[in-house]
Amino acid sequence: MQFWIVQTLNSLALGGLLFLLAAGFSLIFGLMRIANLTHGSLFMLGAYIGVSILKFVPNLWLAALLGGVAVAAFGGLLERLILRRLAGNVLGQVLVTLGVAYIIADLCLMVWGGDPIPVPTPELLRQPIVIGGVAFPSYRLVVVGIAIITAIALYLLMERTRLGAMIRAGVDDMQMARAVGIPVSRLFTIVFCLGSALAGAGGIIGGPILSAYPGLDFDMLPLALIVVILGGVGSLLGAFVGSFIIGAIYTFGTALLPGLAYVILFLPMIFVIAFRPRGLFGKVTT
Amino acid sequence: MATEALALAGINALYADSHVLHDVSFSFNAGRVLALLGRNGAGKTTCMSTIIGFLPPRDGEIRLFGEPIGRLMPETISRKGVGFVPQGRRIFPTLTVRENLTVARQSRGGAAKPWTLDRVCELFPGLKGRLQQPAGSLSGGEQQMLAIGRALMGNPRLLLMDEPSEGLAPRIVAEMRRTIARLKQEGQSIVLVEQNIKLALDLADDVVMLNTGRVAFAGSVDEVRGNEALITQHLGVF
């Protein structure tokens, strides 16, 4: 019983982290039509920056906030200085974002070294919560809570504000959004910074579970890609549902059928691409 | 002296290697309705795309109330005061009717009676009860009203309307005619692209006819009305 509860909680925690990563990825892809292959690197960069911040400020939440802001600034520069010039050039975007991902990986290796760096769990959350004789790792519960709160905040931003409506208008029909005066170019930067901030903060928040290590970027990127393909490009609900589905498939797949974990993970993606290319909640865009 | 709302001078526009507009020049004054007519493929929609900034001209100049706009991005052109009702409506289907209108809201100093959500709903009462509905679920006629309302929310100095009666039932077309007539009465400058020649000539003050991407005629509506030879030659109707 304990096995199932722990694995369920692990899958929910991974789902929560994936949501922090995939929500921004999905919005960036939905609005800007950029498959940002540096997104996993922004997650890893956030984890490493968090490690450094924690040396001076021993507070994980503050480190997540500051790290998120730092990664958002990096993402904003990346979008303004490089990606903006590649509008409509899909191959160029793929090559450049992949290249930047490798550059970030090398720089991280140079600065933080090649050994995994554990990120300490906040002291208050180190003890499990015991309910009915079953121990629940409290930090993982908090991660799930953060993902849910982030999802609600993003939902309110996207569905209840004019800025959110403008972003959705851009996802629906970017050319017409421009023609009605929506400053799409500014929205690009805002969305890119927001997505980067979520990825960066997610990297630090995920630190106590995953650590910061070389290769974290390309471990997370395929998972985010699958989430977005499964959930539907540009759909926040899709990113949320997709994250928890993939979190569960990956966690239980690895635990029960370790030899087939990737088969179990990628097979649904192949079916989705073949039979429902817009994903579970994706919109048909013009 | 009358103010020139829009002036195109020597516009050439291309889709890749396909040269669509050839040295197109015309202008019209503020507060008037210009009907831009021509057969299918004559270049009317391309002309609209060039004015709104979707297809920047290769050369030539476009002026909005004397200000050059030919090299600007669509969002900047919109903010300069060009409202656009595109062919096929192109409302934002996943947004509610209210959101479609509010995302397009722009204030413009000097507008005597600015367009607001309430005023658009007064112009199109059919939209009032549907503000919370996803725009994609509206009927074709309602979507057309929404597309016009959305353009008006930007308080445009110039309104571009590309085939507003296309695919609509006669009753809705009649309503559309009344709406455009009312906008004209309120002094709105309008460029109207229409396949419905009768509707266009009823509403227009000035007419420009395009034929294979070139201006074949530019003059007043009175010169066109009753001139069946001209209409047959360039529009192939009647």
Rg (CA), chain B: 17
Q: CA-CA distance, A11 to B124, in Å (whole number)?
A: 51
More confident site: B235 or A41: A41
Q: Label residue A284 by pLDDT band (50, 70, 90).
A: low
Mean pLDDT of chain B: 93
Q: Which residues of B touch A175 (CB under 8 A)?
A: 54, 74
The residue-averaged pLDDT of B20-48 equals 94
Task: Say which of A162, A179, A184 has its CB closest to residue B84.
Answer: A179
Strand order in the sheet with B214-220: B82-85, B158-162, B189-193, B33-38, B206-211, B214-220
Convert the pLDDT of each residue in A92-112 to its tens digit: 999 999 999 999 999 999 999
Chain B positions in Cβ-Cβ contact with residue A283 (cut-off 8 Å): 93-94
pLDDT digit string, tens, across residues A234-271? 788 999 999 999 999 989 988 898 888 788 888 888 88
User: B228: distance to nearest CA of chain A, Å?
Assistant: 36
**Quick check: B141 pLDDT over 80?**
yes
Looking up tokens 């990113």 gives A239
Closest to A33 (Cα-Cα) out of A86, A78, A77: A86
Reported as a single tens digit per residue, the pLDDT across B194-237 is 989 899 999 999 999 999 999 999 999 999 887 888 888 777 75
Q: pLDDT band at residue A67, thresholds of 50, 70 and 90?
A: very high
Q: Do the bridges between strand B82-85 and strand B158-162 make them parallel or antiparallel, or are there none, so unpaired?
A: parallel
At residue B192, does pLDDT exceed 70?
yes
Query: Using CA atoms, how far apart are residues A98 and A76, in angstroms rounded to an integer?
Result: 17
* Residues in chain A within 8 Å Cβ distance of B151: 180
Note whether B95 contacts A: Cβ–Cβ < 8 A: yes
Whether pLDDT at A195 is above 70 = yes
Question: In this model, does residue A40 exceed pLDDT 50?
Answer: yes
The pLDDT value recorded for residue B51 is 97
Q: Give SS3 for A218.
A: helix
A283 Cα to chain B: minimum distance (Å) = 8
> CB B90 to CB A173 under 8 A?
yes
More confident residue, A284 or A164: A164
* Confidence at B1, pLDDT banded by 50, 70, 90: low
Query: Helix crossing, A39-56 with A184-205: angle to 10°?
Result: 60
Contacts 24+ apart (CB under 8 A), A165-170: A165/B95, A165/B99, A165/B102, A165/B103, A166/B103, A167/A27, A167/A31, A167/A191, A168/B92, A168/B94, A168/B95, A168/B99, A169/B92, A169/B95, A169/B99, A169/B100, A169/B103, A170/A31
Contact list, A169 vs chain B (CB under 8 Å) = 92, 95, 99-100, 103
- b/e code A137-155 from CB counts within 10 Å (16+ = b): bbbbbbbbebbeebbeebe
Res. A10 pLDDT band, cuts 50 70 90: confident
Hey, which residues 153-192 in chain B have their CB within 8 Å of chain A?
Answer: 153-154
Tell me how far apart the alpha carbons of residues A54 and A118 are, in angstroms, rounded to a whole number.
Answer: 11
> Which residues on neighbouring strands pair with residue A159, listed in sequence order?
none
Tens-digit pLDDT profile for residues B53-104: 999 999 999 999 999 999 999 999 999 999 999 999 999 999 999 999 999 9
Kindly list the residues from chain A whose CB atom is less than 8 angstroms away from the CB atom of residue B54.
175, 179
- When scoring B45, B78, B103, B120 by the number of chain A Cβ atoms within 10 A, the one with the most, hence best to mutate, is B103
A40 token code pair: 């996993």
Span A40-63, average pLDDT = 96
Please name which of B46, B21, B28 lies closest in space to residue B205, comparing C-alpha atoms.
B28
Determine the 3-state secondary structure of A57 from DSSP. coil
In the structure encoding, which two tokens stand for residue B24, read together?
């197109």
Ramachandran angles phi, psi of A101, nearest 5° = -60, -45
How are beta strands B158-162 and B189-193 bridged, if at all?
parallel
Structural domains in chain B? Answer: 4-81+159-235 (3.40.50.300), 96-156 (no CATH)
Q: Distance from A260 to chain B by nearest Cα, in Å?
A: 39
pLDDT of residue A271: 86
Mean pLDDT of A11-19: 92
pLDDT at A183 over 70: yes
Please work out, in degrees rounded to the nearest 5, the angle formed at the alpha carbon of residue B144 by the alpha carbons of B140 and B146: 115
